[in-house]
Amino acid sequence: MRKLFYFFVCLLLFWAAGCGEEKTAGPEPAVRFYSASSAASHLLLKLGAADALAAVDRYGRAVPGAERIPVAGSGSAVSIEKLAELGVSRAFVWYYQTNLKQLLEQHGIAVTVLPAVRLADYPGLVRTVASAAGKNAEGEALIAEFQTQLDATPPAGGERRRVYFELYSPYKCAGGDSYFGDLLKLAGAENIGEALPTGPVSPEYLVQSSPEVILFLAETESAETIAGRPGFAALPAVRYGRIHRVERTRVLEGVDPAEAVRYLRRLIRDR
Q: What is the pLDDT of residues 25-65, one digit of tens each?
A: 444 568 999 999 999 999 999 999 999 999 999 989 999 99
| Average confidence (pLDDT) over 5-14 | 46
Query: Fold match between 33-135 and 161-269?
Result: yes
What's the rounded Cα separation, in Å, for the pair 6 and 187?
Answer: 87
What H or E segment, with its residue span, contains residue 161?
Answer: strand 161-166
Q: Residue 164 above 60 pLDDT?
A: yes
Q: Above pLDDT 90, what percent of the chain? A: 79
What's the rounded Cα separation, in Å, for the pair 34 and 37?
Answer: 9
Q: Pick the residue with more confidence: 149 or 161? A: 161
Q: Give residue 25's pLDDT.
A: 46
The tens digit of pLDDT for each residue in 186-232 reads: 999 999 999 999 999 999 999 999 999 999 998 888 999 999 999 99
What's the rounded Cα separation, in Å, for the pair 41 and 74?
Answer: 14
For 109, counting Cβ atoms within 10 Å of its Cβ (0-12 exposed, 13-18 middle, 19+ buried), the class is buried
Q: What fold is seen in the domain 161-269?
A: Rossmann fold (3.40.50)
What's the rounded Cα separation, in Å, for the pair 217 and 114?
Answer: 24
What's the rounded Cα separation, in Å, for the pair 257 and 181?
Answer: 12
Report residue 153's pLDDT band, with 50, 70 and 90 as the boundaries.
Answer: low
The tens digit of pLDDT for each residue in 71-121 reads: 999 988 999 999 999 999 999 999 999 999 999 999 999 999 999 999 999
What's the rounded Cα separation, in Å, for the pair 151 and 165?
Answer: 24
CB of 173 closer than 8 Å to CB of 180: no
Q: How far is CA 29 from CA 52, 64, 131, in A?
A: 11, 27, 17
Q: Give residue 27's pLDDT.
A: 46
CB of 246 closer than 8 Å to CB of 217: yes
What H or E segment, with its residue span, contains residue 200?
Answer: strand 199-200
Strand partners of residue 189? 161
Single-letter residue type at 20: G
Give which of 209, 117, 118 is closest to 163, Cα–Cα.
209
How do 77-78 and 71-74 pair as beta strands? antiparallel
Give which of 125, 255, 270 is closest to 183, Cα–Cα.
255
Q: Residue 67 above 80 pLDDT?
A: yes
Kindly report the pTM of this predicted structure: 0.83
What length is written for the chain?
271
Domain extents in the chain: 33-135, 161-269
Report residue 159's pLDDT band, with 50, 70 and 90 as the boundaries.
Answer: confident
Q: What fold is seen in the domain 33-135?
A: Rossmann fold (3.40.50)
